[in-house]
Amino acid sequence: MKKTKKILTDEAPINDELRLRGFFRIKIGEPDANGVVKAVAGDSGWFKNTIPNLGKDLFLSQLVGAMGGSLQVKYAALGTGGTLNATATALPGELTATNVRMAVTPTTANASGTLNFAFTLNSGVTNASGNISNVGLFAISNVSSGQPFAGNTYASSALSTNQAVNGTYQIQF
Average pLDDT taken over every residue of the chain: 85
Phi–psi pair at 168, nearest 5 degrees = -130, 130
C-alpha span between 158 and 13 (Å, rounded)? 50
Question: For position 62, what pLDDT does the model report?
Answer: 87
**Tens digit of each residue's pLDDT (9 = 90 or more) over 141-154:** 988 788 899 999 99
Contacts (Cβ under 8 Å, ≥6 apart) of 77: 91, 94, 95, 100, 101, 102, 135, 136, 137, 138, 143, 148
pLDDT surpassing 90 at residue 134? yes
Query: Alpha helices, DSSP H only, in the chain?
Result: 53-55, 62-64
pLDDT surpassing 60 at residue 9? no
Range scoring the smallest mean pLDDT among 16-25, 40-49, 74-83 = 16-25
Label residue 15 by pLDDT band (50, 70, 90): low
C-alpha span between 79 and 56 (Å, rounded)? 21
Question: For position 38, what pLDDT does the model report?
Answer: 78
Domain edges within the chain? 21-172
**Tens digit of each residue's pLDDT (9 = 90 or more) over 72-106:** 999 999 999 988 888 888 899 999 887 789 999 99
pLDDT surpassing 90 at residue 1? no
What's the mean pLDDT in 40-54? 90
The pTM of this model reads 0.84
Question: For position 69, what pLDDT does the model report?
Answer: 84
Question: For position 83, what pLDDT does the model report?
Answer: 84
pLDDT surpassing 70 at residue 14? no
| Residue 22 and residue 33 in contact, taking contact as beta carbons nearer than 8 Å | no
Label residue 16 by pLDDT band (50, 70, 90): low
